[in-house]
Amino acid sequence: MSKGLGYISNIEKLIKEVKETQAAAMKQSAEIIAESLMSGGMIYAFGTGHSHMLAVELFYRAGGLARVYPILDEGLMLHRAAAKSTSSERMNGYAEALLNDYPVKEGDVIIIASNSGRNAVTIEMAIEAEKRGLKVLAVTSLKHSKSAASRHSNGKRLFELADVVIDNCGCIGDASIEFEKIGSVGPTSTVIGVLILQSIICEAVEIMLDKNVKPEIYISSNVGDFDNNKELIEKYSKLIKCL
C-alpha cells in the first residue's frame, strides 16, 4: 500500500475508534450546546496554530449554526507570522486579555481545540472561560497530552480543565505516516477534529428539533434563498464582530 493510501487507512481507523470510544462525550457535548442555544447562549470556538481552523469550521458555514462566534487572534494564527505564533501560544496572560474582547456570559459554551493541550494560551482560555460561567468542551489528543508537560504556570493540561473532553485518538506528534529518513508526515488532528465537531453539531440540532425548537442555521448561498442568511446576519452582526 502506498503511503498516501496508508494515510487514508489511518484516518479510517481513527474514525472507527472515535465512533466506538467518544460517542458518549460527543452526545454530552451536543446536549450542552443545545441547552445553551435554547437558553439564548452563544457557542464560542477557539484554537491556536492549525487548531484555529476548527473554530473557523463552525463559523458562517452552510448548514452551520448561526450563534457561533470564533475567537480568532492573528497573533495565534499562521497567516502573518507562523513562527511567532508558536511563541505567542506559550505566553501566560494572553488568553485573559483576549477573552476580554468578547461578550461572553454565564451559560455560553466554548469549544477549545488543541492537539497537545499543553500550551499556556489554550489552558488559560479554559480557566478564564470557566471563571466567567462558560461550559468548556475540549477536543484534544489524550495520548499526546498525557505524554507532555504543561507549559502553563499551574502545571495543568487542557483535558484536566474541561467540562467534557473529546479525544481525537491521534498519535503523539500528530503526524501519522513514518518515513525512515525524514520522520513522520500526515497529521490527523484537523480531519478528525472537524468530523468530531460536525457530528456534535448534527446531534445538537437533532436534540433541539426533538424539543420543538427550531435552530438558526445558515443555508448555502449557492443553492438556497439568501434571505434566510441575510436575516441572520442582520440579527447578529452587532454581536458577532467578524460576521
Could you read off the pLDDT of 111-123 as tens digits, one per residue?
999 999 998 899 9
The rounded percent of the chain whose pLDDT value lies above 70 is: 91
pTM score: 0.92
Let me know if domain 3-236 sits in CATH 3.40.50.720.
no
The helices-and-strands tally (H runs, E runs) of the chain is 9, 7
Helix (H/G/I), strand (E/B), else coil: 178:
strand
CA 181 to chain centre: 33
**125-139, 168-182, 215-229: which has the minimum mean pLDDT?**
215-229
Give the closest residue to 117 by CA, choosing from 149, 72, 77. 149
**16-25, 66-75, 85-94: which has the minimum mean pLDDT?**
85-94
Confidence of residue 81 (pLDDT cuts 50, 70, 90): very low
> What pLDDT does residue 79 have?
55
**25-34, 35-44, 45-54, 167-176: which has the minimum mean pLDDT?**
45-54
**62-66, 70-74, 90-94, 214-218: which has the minimum mean pLDDT?**
90-94
